[in-house]
Amino acid sequence: MRSFKFTLSKTKRIILILLVINIVAFSATKEIAEKYSPLQTTANENKNLNYIEKGWQIVNWSYNLLKYFKKPNTG
């Protein structure tokens, strides 16, 4: 039998690590937002709006992190 060897290139490992960090950060932000949110006593619509805002903040954070690690074009 042949043994199956699974290896990832450096780029794919970095992308995978950033994806895991992004998921962990999103989960932590969601929990903190639920715990300290002043919207806990308001209507459900406002609560969903807060989640959308937090989600966009995470997307923005991820994009800025990606730009930070992106190599500059040296042409």
How large is the angle between the packed helices 10-36 and 44-69, nearest 10 degrees?
150
Least confident of 10-19, 30-39, 42-51: 42-51
12-34 residue pLDDT tens: 889 899 999 999 999 888 888 77
- Is residue 64 a part of any domain in this protein? yes
In the chain, the number of structural domains is: 1
Tokens of 45: 């619509």
Domain that holds residue 56: 41-69
Cα–Cα distances (Å) from 46 to 40, 52, 75, in that order, read 9, 10, 48
- Under a CB-based contact definition with an 8 Å cutoff, are residues 14 and 69 in contact? yes
Q: Which of 53, 17, 54, 15 lies closest to 32 in space, CA to CA?
A: 54
- Is residue 65 a part of any domain in this protein? yes
- Is residue 53 a part of any domain in this protein? yes
- Is residue 16 a part of any domain in this protein? no
- Is residue 22 a part of any domain in this protein? no
- pLDDT reported for residue 67: 82
